[in-house]
Amino acid sequence: MQGEKPGKKTVPFSRSQVEELEKTFPTPFHVYDEEAIRAGSRRLYKAFSWVTDSDGKKGGFKNYFAVKALPNPYILRLLHEEGQGTDCSSLPELLLSEAAGITGEEIMFSSNDTPAEEFALAKKLGAIINLDDITFIDFLKKAAGIPRLLCFRYNPGEEYSHGNPIIGNPDEAKYGLTHEQIIRAYPKAQKMGVKRFGLHAMIVSNQCREDILADAARLLFNLAVEIHTKTGIRLEFINLGGGIGIPYAPADRQVNVEEYARRVHDLYQEIIVENGLSPIRIIMESGRAVTGPYGYLVSRVRHVTQKHRAYVGLDACMANLMRPALYGAHHQITVLGKENRPLDHVYDVTGSLCENNDKFAIQRPLPEVRPGDIMVIHDTGAHGHAMGFNYNGKLRSAEFLMQAGGNFQLIRRAETINDYFATLNFKGSDFSGFARKKAPSLTPVKTKKQ
């Protein structure tokens, strides 16, 4: 079965809308398309609508959005309106989730190398705790007490080898319990008072093949049967983790979620139902596929230079999007207003960091670019702004939610120099002269698409 062929990437806003925004908010900034995020979420839920809940009724599927992908409470709240919970892996992510009104079993706490206070907060919020190691059962007991519902993260090691540079191969990955450990962990937890159980694995990343994604489900379904056979414990849910890929590059496949869900359904019938273990709820922790394709990094061209190569220097840099520098990831680029011009020039598109890998694209065919052009970098809605950092004194950008009717809601202001210096207490220094004079308004900016 083939994935879908991704269409040509387009930008859902115009140059004049960006110019309108720029009157108040200078580039660079990220824009997230609310309607597209909602539509994508509905498609995922529809594809998995066959999943039953614990009463055997349909509607048992839930995505716990991986907060690390786009840690903004406005986004979490809108995804919650679509039925999604949150997958958190740190204390701030738990707090963001709570701020967005998401608590209790709508939070999956999938952390690793976890400090005691994070387990304590997760337990207090009633989150589902997903343990990354067998020794964490005792650690959790001491830190927060044993909950009635507990999940374990499985690492299949060599049994499954579809790793990539983002997640690595399971046998080299720091996450999860080995097979031998996981079979021991369930009865141990049961003896300590756990009544309800889940199973989790996150063993693929940015995977665009439905058969490989479904293979991870097969592995977990077979393990659920084995756990039941060996321990008598029935699982309440299986968490397929995140890892659904998106077509960043023109040659990449677009996952057909209906096909993926159909394959998982077939495996569920063949393994879970046939072994009398139904109903087991199917859940996941998708981040990238939920918001990734619907985010855009908008940036102005500062300089076009000719050295040994031709360079386009943007006002955005690695601080705003690290994926190309970190993974050599491909992100498509549109020059607003030049969409139909021939791609007859070749450039390296860079930021201003003193790092030669601060490049958004290397030897990329583009139309002729001039200083002042507006470039839009595609697919920045997940693991984009979130990975930002302040090396070289670079500041993280603003985030906008583009709503129906051309409203742009500022959902995070840009960092200021004051933010950058906020952790310094250097006697005699006063950086206030560089501060932004006025906090930006949170009133949506109305624009017209032309």
Ligand X SMILES: Cc1ncc(COP(=O)(O)O)c(C=O)c1O
Residue whose CB is less far from ligand X, 330 or 364: 330
Tell me how far apart the alpha carbons of residues 126 and 106 are, in angstroms, rounded to a whole number: 9
**In whole angstroms, how close is the CB of 109 to ligand X at the nearest point?**
10
Q: Which amino acid would we find at residue 152?
A: F
Residues with Cβ within 8 Å of residue 203, at least 6 apart in sequence: 155, 156, 160, 162, 163, 167, 170, 173, 216, 219, 241, 243
- In angstroms, the CA 217 to CA 263 distance is 9
Extract the runs of DSSP E, i.e. beta strands, from 92-228: 107-110, 128-131, 149-153, 196-200
The residue (of 13 and 64) whose beta carbon lies closer to ligand X is: 64
Q: Is the Cβ of residue 185 or residue 301 nearer to ligand X in the bound state? A: 185
Nearer to ligand X, 286 or 397 (CB): 286
How many helical (H) and strand (E) elements, i.e. helices and strands, does the chain have? 12, 18
Q: Which is nearer to ligand X, 286 or 334 (CB)?
A: 286
For residue 66, the minimal CB distance to ligand X (Å) is 3
Please give the backbone phi and psi of residue 41, each rounded to the nearest 5 degrees, phi first: -65, -45
Contact predicate 413/397, CB 8 Å = no
Nearer to ligand X, 18 or 297 (CB): 297
What is the bridge-based pairing of β-strands 407-412 and 445-446? antiparallel
- Minimum CB separation of residue 320 from ligand X in Å reads 18
CA-angle at 266, arms to 263 and 272, nearest 5°:
125
Residue number of the CB atom closest to ligand X: 242
Min separation Cβ 217 and ligand X, Å: 15
Q: How far is CA 244 from CA 101, 328, 331, in A?
A: 26, 19, 17
Half-sphere exposure of 131 (CA within 13 A, CB side): 27
In the complex, what is the shortest distance from the CB of residue 61 to ligand X, in angstroms, rounded to a whole number?
15
The answer to whether 88 and 127 have CB atoms below 8 angstroms apart is yes
Helix axes 73-81, 91-99, angle to 10 degrees: 60
Q: Min. distance of Cβ 206 from ligand X in angstroms?
A: 6
Instruction: Give 151's DSSP letter.
Output: E
Q: Are 3 and 255 in contact (CB under 8 A)?
A: yes
Question: Which pair of structure tokens corresponds to residue 117?
Answer: 């206070």
Q: Is the Cβ of residue 130 or residue 299 nearer to ligand X in the bound state?
A: 130
Can you state the percent helix, strand and coil of the chain, rounding each to 5? 35, 20, 45
Q: 25 or 152: whose CB is closer to ligand X?
A: 152
Residues at the contact surface with ligand X, assessed by CB under 6 A: 66, 68-69, 87, 110, 202, 205-206, 241-244, 285-288, 382
Q: Which is nearer to ligand X, 290 or 335 (CB)?
A: 290
Cβ proximity to ligand X: between 155 and 205 the closer is: 205
The minimum distance between CB 286 and ligand X, in angstroms, equals: 4
Supply the minimum distance, in Å, between the C-beta of residue 242 and ligand X. 2
Q: In the structure encoding, which two tokens stand for residue 226, read together? A: 């084995």
Q: Quick one: DSSP state of residue 86? A: E
Q: Considering the complex, what minimum distance in angstroms separates the CB of residue 110 from ligand X?
A: 4
Task: Find the shortest distance in angstroms from Cβ 356 to ligand X.
Answer: 27
